[in-house]
Amino acid sequence: METGKMTMIQCVFKGERLFDVQKAMEDIDIVGMTIWEVKGHGRQMGHIEHYRGLETKVNLLPKLMLEIVVLENEVEIIVQSLLDAARTGDIGDGKIFLIPVADAIRVRTGERGIQAI
């Protein structure tokens, strides 16, 4: 079994940047990813909306989260691609988290480690 350190990259970003993020990953040959809709807030703590004269604080904003597991030597190019694709320069652009992965197992075949990713 070939070994190597693996890292999970989680990227929370604005939904309007989805096409750009997917294209950036395709451009660097990243094809396996999971993306789902999430809600949350960071420092901006949401925003105030007005509806029919009522003021409502919306503190959980819709975002998307991308999650991929890659070899450690691929992390920096992926992070830079995500930064370039997801950044608008506005508050709420998101976050990227890097998490060490101890092991991975492909359910269909039972392969482990980097063969599973």
pLDDT digits (tens, 9 = 90+) for 69-97: 999 999 999 999 999 999 999 988 999 99
pLDDT digits (tens, 9 = 90+) for 18-37: 999 999 999 999 988 999 99
CATH of 6-116, one of 3.30.70.120, 1.10.3720.10, 3.40.50.2300, 3.40.190.80: 3.30.70.120
Amino acid at the residue 76? E
Residue ranges of domains in the chain:
6-116
- Considering the entire predicted model, what is its pTM? 0.84
Answer yes or no: are the C-beta atoms of 116 and 104 closer than 8 Å. yes
Answer yes or no: are the C-beta atoms of 54 and 71 closer than 8 Å. no
The 3 state secondary structure assigned to the chain is CCCCCEEEEEEEECHHHHHHHHHHHHHCCCCCCEEEEEEECCCCCCEEEEECCEEEEECCEEEEEEEEEEEHHHHHHHHHHHHHHHCCCCCCCEEEEEEEECCCECCCCCCEHHHHC
